[in-house]
Amino acid sequence: MDTDSFELKILDVVEETPDARSISFEVPAGAEEHFAYKPGQFLTVAVPSDQTGVAARCYSLCSSPVGGGPLTITVKRTDGGYASNWICDHLAPGDSMRVLPPSGIFTPASLSADLLLFAGGSGITPVMSITRTALAQGTGRIVLFYANRDERSVIFAGELARLAAEHPDRLVVVHWLESVQGLPSHEQVKAFAAGYATYDAFVCGPAPFMKMTVAALKELEFPRERRHQEKFVSLGGNPFGDLHDVEVAEQEIDAAEHEEDDAAQEPASHGGGPSGPVRLEVELDGETHAFDDWAPGTKMLDHLEAKGVKAPYSCREGECSACAVRLLEGDVDMLHNDVLDDEDLAEGIRLACQSVPVTDTVRATYS
């Protein structure tokens, strides 16, 4: 369970639209390193719940890691969404929330690359962080296609207009309003993207919007390394470690027993798997960590943590991409995966929190 959550004081709550709020946090002294982040990453927050004690949710950062501004997420109400409505209705300056350090891989490799950004609704949140940071530190051009239901639902409308006016040679913002133009079609998105075939594309928004946009980019032959989409979902587990309820504890023990059974059966499908300890090499933040005693059946994240490596994670359930690594050598089995698709897997991307070894040597990178 998590041991690195922090209680953060809320500095400000800003109403962006009738349905969206931006929440700014104060990072406590001594925790600055834990909350250093890249544009496009997200925070996992603990929302109080009468039914489960805590509802853990991931919300993208809209703020930029440069410029000294506060750590800020933006939350949009969803129909029937307990956490988003609770946050929008209850939080005020002076309150506090438990928060995990930033996570996620939806971030540009280079801030000076030319960027083609697609956002739908609240999908603008990580895209805003990327835009702000790239304008402040990069040199490339940025084209943003931003789809919304109507003018009232456009989050950051004023900020985007200001940035476009300040950077007319670098930032182009195209608003698409369903109330005016109808829903954007596959062919319309494809025609728009065709003019920027050399750019690095980032896509975030409702699932149908992302699916359509990514399909259009694939047809235009955007290579995988220049095509990114945000992938995290509402968490079913609780990464904050509040196990006061005996029934919840018993359920976790039962799940762990099933997981051990599954892990014991997995190697047979790979010709027997490793017969003994596995060599694991992991690149993280420019440093290589190497170990010769990764036990078969032990998850990569658990092994790294046992060795004192501060590897990123959020949900620990295979439901987000915070712990994603890219395999460089060897192979692993994932016990659970709700977020990576076939193309991600083909590219060697795996979830460290669910990966057990099936070869004698595994090399991976978090970059």
DSSP H stretches of helix in 195-277: 207-219, 246-265
Whether pLDDT at 39 is above 60: yes
What is the rounded radius of gyration, in angstroms, for the C-alpha atoms of the chain?
Answer: 21
| Token pair listed for 63 | 């703020």
Whether pLDDT at 34 is above 70: yes
3-class DSSP state for residue 269? Answer: helix
Greater model confidence, 187 or 81: 187
* Class of the domain covering 6-103: mainly beta
Question: Superfamily assignment of 267-365 in CATH?
Answer: Beta-grasp domain (3.10.20.30)
Distances (CA, A) of 364 to 39, 201, 215, 306, 332: 23, 24, 28, 17, 10
CATH of domain 115-229: 3.40.50.80
Whether pLDDT at 255 is above 70: no
Kindly report the pTM of this predicted structure.
Answer: 0.76
pLDDT value of position 242: 54
pLDDT value of position 236: 52
Whether pLDDT at 17 is above 80: yes
Residue 278: name the closest of 360, 364, 363, 365 by CA. 360
3-class DSSP state for residue 246? Answer: helix
Helices and strands per DSSP (H, E), number in the chain: 9, 18
Work out the percent of the chain whose per-residue pLDDT is above 90: 68
Same fold, 6-103 and 115-229: no
Q: Where are the domains of the chain?
A: 6-103, 115-229, 267-365
pLDDT value of position 48: 87
Split at pLDDT 50, 70, 90, the class of 366 is confident
**219-224: average pLDDT:** 94
